[in-house]
Amino acid sequence: MLNTWLSQIRYAFALILMFSFSFNAQAKWEEASAVIETSTQDMLQILEQEELLAEEQQENLLSELDLALSPVVDFDYISKVVMGKYYRRASGEERAAFSSVFKTTLLKTYAKAIVGFRIEKYEIVRPQKKSPSPKKQIVNVNVFAADGTKYSLVYYMKKGKDGWRLVNALLDGINLRLTFKNQFADMVQKNRGDVGAVISSWKEKVDPGKREA
């Protein structure tokens, strides 16, 4: 009889834990998706300002994107992952320099992508499976252009001391972080392991003519 009661108690306790985890994971996804929802709305408001989309207004567009994305995107974390194993070889100054130039890279990449792009509508897709880690969530977004083209966006979100931040993204299956990581590694090899030279070269490509003094 005692063994039966113990088994029932364990079973009930296990159900409570499973339910609690399920509810917690769902709540965490709701939090992460809310951040993406707000960010997407901010992007739409920027796109509505057609004067910002002119080529001569690029700096102003970048400033607007910076204001909208900086609270959401963890640029420092992504730049660290992009540097990969070479992060440890870099000095503190080199790490900070690459984080800065990489942020500009992402902002300019995003700006180039949205110029001339007209979003008809978008939808945030609820996940089929729950994340095994409540502090890591994936938010899928389908974006529909005015011409009917559908784009699939996958945002990888991580919760830290500053709340939910984006740490990676996929666009129609293309891994943004991995693409830049491979590019960085290739440049390091071509520069015979000189990380500083790679960062300088990267900066020159992102901001032509703006060399460090």
Tens-digit pLDDT string for the chain (213 aa): 544 544 544 443 343 334 333 434 456 899 999 999 999 899 888 888 888 888 888 899 899 999 999 999 999 999 999 999 999 999 999 999 999 999 999 998 888 877 767 788 899 999 888 888 889 999 999 989 888 888 899 999 999 998 999 999 998 889 999 999 999 999 999 999 999 999 999 999 887 755 443
The CATH architecture that domain 2-206 belongs to is Roll (3.10)
What is the rounded distance in angstroms from the CA atom of residue 176 to the CA atom of residue 82? 10
Task: Calculate the CA 73 to chain-centre distance.
Answer: 5
Contact 165, 77 (CB under 8 A): yes
Residue-wise pLDDT for 94-142, tens only, equals 999 999 999 999 998 888 877 767 788 899 999 888 888 889 999 999 9
What is the rounded distance in angstroms from the CA atom of residue 163 to the CA atom of residue 29? 13
Interstrand relation of 150-160 and 136-145 (parallel, antiparallel or unpaired): antiparallel
pLDDT for res 119:
80
What is the rounded distance in angstroms from the CA atom of residue 103 to the CA atom of residue 142? 25
pTM exceeds cut of 0.85: no
